Amino acid sequence: MQALGGNEIRARFLDYFRSKGHEVVASSPVVPAGDPTLLFTNAGMNQFKDVFLGLEQRPYRRAATSQKCVRAGGKHNDLDQVGRTARHHTFFEMLGNFSFGDYFKVEAIKFAWDLLVRELGLPADLLTATIYEDDDEAAAIWSEKIGLPEYRVVRLGEKDNFWSMGDVGPCGPCTEIIYDRGPEFACDGPECAVGKCDCDRWLEVWNLVFMQYDRDSSGVLTPLPRPCVDTGMGLERIASVLQGAPSNFETDLLKPYIDWLVTTTGRDYGRGEEGFPFRVIADHARSCAFIIADGVLPSNEGRGYVLRRILRRAARFGRVLGFTRPFLHQMVPIVGSIMGETYPDVVEKQDYIQRVIEGEEARFLETLTEGTRRAEEMLARASASSAAKGLPAGRRGELPGKDAFLLYDTFGFPIDLTEDMAAERGLVVDRAGFERAMEEQRRRAREAREAAGSDDEALALAGLLEGQPVNRFVGYDRLETRTAIRAIATAGEEAGPRLVDEAGPETGPVHVLLGEVPFYAEGGGQAADRGVVESGLGKAEVTGASRLPDGKVVVTAEVKSGRLKTGDEVQAVVDADRRRATARNHTATHLLHRALRDVLGEHAAQSGSLVTPERLRFDFSHFGPLTPEEVREVEDRVNEAILSSRPVRASTTAYREAVAGGAIALFGEKYGDEVRVVDIDSLSRELCGGTHAATTGEVGVFKIVSESGIGSGLRRIEAVTGLEALERFRRAEAALAGAARALKCDVSEVPEKVEQLQAELKSYEKEKERLESKAAQASASTIADRAETIGPYRLAVGALGPMSIDGLRQVGDRVRDRLGGAGAGTVVLLGAPTQDGERVGFVAMVSKPLVDKGIHAGKVIGEVARVAGGGGGGRSDMAQAGGREPGSLSEALERGRALFRGALEEMARGGTNSPVSRSPGGF
- CATH code, domain carrying 499: 2.40.30.130
Residue 296 located in a structural domain: no
CA 537 to chain centre: 51
Per-residue burial over 398-437, b = 16 or more CB atoms within 10 Å of its CB, e = otherwise: bbbbebbbbbbeebbbbbebbbebbeeeebebbeebbeeb
Residue 553 burial (10 A CB sphere; 0-12, 13-18, 19+): buried
Q: Are 669 and 592 members of one domain?
A: yes
Q: Is 710 helix (H, G, I), strand (E, B) or coil?
A: strand
Query: How many domains is the chain partitioned into structurally?
Result: 5
- Judged against a pLDDT cut of 90, whether residue 316 lies above it is answered with no
Query: Which secondary structure element, helix H or strand E, spans residue 894, and what is its range?
Result: helix 889-908
pLDDT over 70 (residue 73):
no
Q: What is the mean pLDDT of the chain?
A: 89
The confidence score (pLDDT) of residue 392 equals 53
pTM of the model: 0.63
Kindly state whether residue 61 falls inside one of the protein's structural domains: yes
CA atoms within 13 A on the CB side of 412: 26
Pick the range with the lowest mean pLDDT from 365-379, 576-590, 842-856: 365-379
Task: Single out the residue in 416, 433, 453 at which a domain terminates.
Answer: 453
Residue 376: count of CB within 10 angstroms of its CB: 12
Position 915 confidence tier, pLDDT thresholds 50, 70, 90: very low
In the chain, % of residues over pLDDT 70:
93
Q: Which CATH number belongs to the domain containing residue 91 in this structure?
A: 3.30.930.10
800 and 726 in a single domain? The answer is: no
Q: Is residue 274 part of a domain?
A: no
End position of a domain, from candidates 548, 574, 600? 574
Instruction: Judge whether 708 and 716 are in contact, CB under 8 Å.
Output: yes
The answer as to whether 611 is a domain residue is yes
Query: Dihedral of CA 462/467/473/474: which sign?
Result: negative
pLDDT band at 74 (very low <50, low <70, confident <90, very high): low
pLDDT above 60: residue 914: no
For 496-512, the pLDDT digits (tens) are 899 999 999 999 999 99
155 with 82, same domain: the answer is yes
Co-location of 44 and 188 in the same domain: yes
Give the DSSP H/E element, type plus range, for residue 772.
helix 750-785
- For residues 334, 335, 336, 337, the Cα torsion angle rounded to the nearest 10 degrees is 50
217: pLDDT strictly greater than 90: no
Residues 463 and 438 in one domain: no
Q: Which of 356, 352, 335, 355 lies closest to 344, judged by CA? A: 335
Q: List the one residue out of 460, 392, 402 whose CA is nearest residue 430.
A: 402
- CATH code of the domain containing 824: 3.10.310.40
pLDDT at 493: 84
- pLDDT higher than threshold 90 for residue 656: no
Residue where a domain terminates, one of 574, 591, 615? 574
Q: What is the pLDDT of residues 465-488, one digit of tens each?
A: 988 888 999 999 999 999 999 999
Q: Indicate if the pLDDT at residue 607 is higher than 80.
A: yes
Residue 815, domain member (yes or no): yes
User: Is the distance from CB of 841 to CB of 886 less than 8 angstroms?
Assistant: no
Predicted pLDDT at 621: 87
For residue 427, what are the contacts with CB-CB under 8 A and spacing of at least 6? 379, 382, 383, 386, 396, 397, 398, 399
Question: What's the whole-number mean pLDDT along residues 63-91?
Answer: 81
Model confidence pLDDT, tens digit, residues 239-264: 999 999 999 999 999 999 999 999 99
Q: What angle do CA 529, 533, 537 make, to 5 degrees?
A: 170
A 10 A CB-CB count for 730 gives: 10
923, pLDDT greater than 60: no
Give the per-residue pLDDT at 76. 54
Say if residue 706's pLDDT is above 60: yes
Share of the chain above pLDDT 90, in %: 62
Q: How would residue 901 be classed by pLDDT, with cut points 50, 70 and 90?
A: very high
Domain contains 288:
no
Closest CA to 497 of 483, 487, 484: 487
- State whether 545 and 622 are in the same domain: no
- For 128-137, write each residue's pLDDT tens digit: 999 999 999 9
Q: Say yes or no: 726 and 828 in one domain.
A: no
Whether residue 447 is found in the same domain as residue 478: no
Q: Is the dihedral of CA 331, 284, 374, 356 positive or negative?
A: positive
Query: Do 442 and 464 lie in a common domain?
Result: no
Instruction: Give Dmax over CA atoms of the chain in angstroms.
Output: 114
Residue 393 has pLDDT above 70, yes or no: no
Question: Tens digits of per-residue pLDDT, 5-62?
Answer: 999 999 999 999 999 999 999 999 999 876 666 889 999 998 988 888 777 888 999 9
Task: Give the CB-side neighbour count of residue 125, counting CA atoms within 13 A.
Answer: 1
Backbone angles phi, psi at 900, to 5 degrees: -65, -40
pLDDT at 164: 83
192 plus 56 within the same structural domain: yes
β-pairing, 538-547 with 531-534? antiparallel
Q: Which residue has the higher pLDDT, 272 or 400?
A: 400
SS3 519: coil
Residue 613 lies in a domain: yes
Q: Are residues 539 and 420 in the same domain?
A: no
Report if residue 283 sits inside a domain: no
54 and 188 share one domain: yes
Residues of the domain holding 673: 583-730
Burial 485-520 (b: 16+ CB within 10 A, else e): bbbbbbbeeeeebeeeebbbeebebbbbbbbbbbbb
CATH number reported for the structural domain that contains residue 723 in this entry: 3.30.980.10
